[in-house]
A and B are shown apart, each in its own frame.
Chain A
Amino acid sequence: MTADSDDRRGFLMLTAGAMAAVGVGRMAAPMINSLNPAKDTLALSTTEVDLTQIPEGEARTVMWQGKPVFIKHRTPKEIEEAEDVDMANLIDKQTDDERVKKKQWLVVVGICTHLGCVPVGQKETDAHGDYDGWFCPCHGSHYDTSGRIRKGPAPRNLAVPPYEFLSDTVIKIG
């Protein structure tokens, strides 16, 4: 066999192999993608909440996309604590204004950004951590009255879900 035909054969082997790899990849894609959220899972993606049920100083937990969302009716003291913070002391720097639509209502996803536990602090009698907000019992993350991470292993503030005020007293999450 000459070197020339060796090259041609080698080239054909290479292209055939490459095509086979593309084919396998193409077949693998739908199977992997089928593991992503299905349409019915995606459909459960908005929740409406009546805020008149939550007195000042209290909080409620509602479910959105299978996750707990904390809705906190903040007291003036808590609002002040949230606003009166030196940005330099924050791990994930965000002002309180960036995190709320109306000052007295804080809406955050109640899932610790470390490894996904639900922090405690929704009830008066719960632990609230060193910053008067929430405390994650799993690995000791402390969140303040704006749901911002202040101490512990969590990297980010409690997420603010997309929401809008449908009226003064009703919000739609999602």
Chain B
Amino acid sequence: MGHGERTAFENPVIEWIDSRLPIFTMMQKEYGVFPTPKNFNYFWNFGAIAMFMLVTMIVTGIVLAMHYTANTHLAFDSVERIMRDVNGGWLLRYIHMNGASFFFIAVYIHIFRGMYYGSYKRPRELLWILGVAIFLLMMATAFIGYVLPWGQMSLWGATVITNLFSAIPLVGDSIVTLLWGGFSVDNPTLTRFFALHYLLPFVIFAVVFIHVWALHITGSNNPLGIDTKGPQDTVPFNPYYTIKDSFGLVVFLMLYALFIFFMPNALGHPDNYTPANPLVTPAHIVPEWYFLPFYAILRAITFSIDIPFTDITIITAKLGGVIAMFGSILLWFVLPWLDSHPIRSAKFRPVFRYFFLLLLADFIFLGYVGSQPADATMFGLPLSVFGLGATAYYFAFFIVILPWLSKHEKGRELPASIHEAVLAKNKKKAVEISE
């Protein structure tokens, strides 16, 4: 974004603007000729897809906000009015509602891609940290957005999640009262949640901007996890990745449209079509699917930590669950330092690859555990036992396995350059075809 060498544009209008504010030069530099590793696979589409989803959510959200009323007496009906009376309101709401899910699908793939290929490692630590911050902001935004329709799940989800803060010793209850603006989740809570739900996406947008800025300083990682060494390793972003991203986006949007038009409520809960009732808790409170693994971690801690042989409890089960849940995400912030292995890509770290794929399975299993009622069983044992085991592996992966592997895993030999690896791969393919 600096000044300095700037080649003149032929179009006089563009040139007039660019010589005063070099925005076209910047776009050309960052998205036109920007040198990008030439060996991306389709996992590298999901950053762009996530960006598209963010814009989709903001645009539909602004229009929905014009029809929505943030008042406990009116909110539920105003959402039903959007569904029935507002022109195309059903479509806007279904795009927005399922958009949250598809935003999270894109972001989860984006995050786990980053973990698999070691995108968080030097020199991209800050890029990664900004990404984790975006993820946390997304979680907050999605959670408070789910409260706005003021159905049963809205109210009770909000009650359960805000009550997490009451686990904080001494000041917990005051914090919860401050969050609620009263003594339960009620109208003051709804109005502030609406204000925040409108604000936070723009905060996300700002952090995404910084995230992309940081990306353009270090350049992208790639499936081999080795640095680009020269022009032979890269292609210009446009047209190569504008086209590849567009293609991936279209495939993604087909799946998204499938949900919007044919199964718009498949990812939601029927209970949220019942107006909120502060006297009756639904029999089975579950958060949206994208929170389930973390919800399972929260519920896995059912024991307190005591000083042995005394009655003194240091950490209650409730506080323990809350610490574990927040800790499971906060750990991501220090991931670049937990895993200090010099090789980035799991392609060349078979042991890491094995444990990582196990973590992925573990995370999905935690999601299943989180979706089940508190007293569910599996193989005749309480499901909470498996939840605790899965939680233990999750933490062991980050706290024990990664640091240990950093010191002891040998890893495979890295290719000399992206260019050579790509050539070798093409040659192998050519041989296979000729045979």
Which residues does A use to contact B, with CB under 8 Å? Answer: 32, 35-38, 41, 61, 63, 65-68, 93, 111, 113-120, 136-140, 152-155
Contact = CB atoms under 8 A, between A and B. Distances in A.
Interface stretch (B101-109, B125-133, B314-322, B420-428): B314-322
Given A37-B177, A118-B279, A152-B302, 16 more contacts: A32-B178, A35-B188, A36-B178, A41-B181, A63-B279, A65-B182, A66-B186, A67-B184, A68-B278, A116-B162, A116-B166, A118-B278, A137-B374, A138-B374, A153-B318, A154-B318
A138 B370 CA distance: 12
Contacts of B164: 115
16 contacts: A35-B181, A37-B177, A41-B182, A63-B278, A115-B161, A116-B162, A116-B166, A117-B281, A118-B278, A118-B279, A119-B281, A136-B281, A137-B283, A137-B285, A139-B299, A153-B318
A37 B301 CA distance: 32
Contact of A66 (B160, B184, B318, B319): B184
B97 to A, nearest CB: 24
B188 A116 contact: no
B159 A37 contact: no
B29 interface: no
B156 interface: yes
Interface in B279-301: 279-281, 283-285, 299, 301
Nearest to A62: B279
Nearest to B280: A118
Given A37-B188, A139-B299, A139-B374, A118 B182 contact: no
A136 B283 CA distance: 9
A138 B287 CA distance: 11
Closest 8 CB pairs of A and B: A140-B374, A116-B163, A65-B183, A66-B184, A155-B316, A115-B160, A115-B163, A117-B281
B160 A37 contact: no
Contact of B159 (A113, A115, A139, A140): A115
A36 B285 CA distance: 27
Contacts of B319: 155
A138 B182 contact: no
B375 interface: yes
Between A36, A61, A65, the greatest number of chain B beta carbons within 10 A of the residue's beta carbon is seen for A36
Interface of B: 156, 159-164, 166-167, 177-184, 186, 188, 192, 278-281, 283-285, 299, 301-302, 304, 311, 316-319, 321, 373-375
B17 to A, nearest CB: 38
B374 A37 contact: no
Given A117-B285, A138-B160, A138-B285, A153 B321 contact: yes
A155 to B, nearest CB: 4
Contact of A35 (B156, B167, B192): B192
A24 B413 CA distance: 55
A38 B188 contact: yes
Contacts of B180: 37
Nearest to B373: A137
B216 to A, nearest CB: 33
Contacts of A68: 278-279
Contact of A116 (B159, B186, B311, B321): B159
A71 B304 CA distance: 30
Contacts of B186: 41, 66
B184 A153 contact: no
A66 B183 contact: yes
Interface of A, helix, strand, loop or mixed by DSSP: loop
A127 to B, nearest CB: 9
Contacts of A93: 311
A58 B183 CA distance: 26
A33 B316 CA distance: 29
A66 B184 CA distance: 6
Nearest to B286: A138
A90 to B, nearest CB: 10
B318 A116 contact: no
B416 to A, nearest CB: 52
Most buried by A among B167, B181, B304: B181
Contacts of B177: 36-37
A97 B280 CA distance: 29
Nearest to A109: B183
Contacts of B375: 140
Contact of B317 (A32, A61, A153): A153
B276 to A, nearest CB: 12
A138 to B, nearest CB: 5
Contacts of A38: 181, 188
A65 B178 contact: no
Most B C-beta atoms less than 10 A away, residue of A61, A65, A66 = A66
Contacts of B301: 153
Contacts of A114: 163, 318
B352 to A, nearest CB: 35
B160 A117 contact: yes
Nearest to B160: A115
User: For B177, B180, B317, which residue has the most chain A Cβ atoms within 10 angstroms?
Assistant: B317
Nearest to A137: B283
Interface centre among B167, B183, B299 (most CB of A within 10 A): B183
Nearest to B384: A140
Contact of A37 (B156, B181, B299, B373): B181
Contacts of B316: 155
Nearest to B279: A68
A155 B169 CA distance: 12
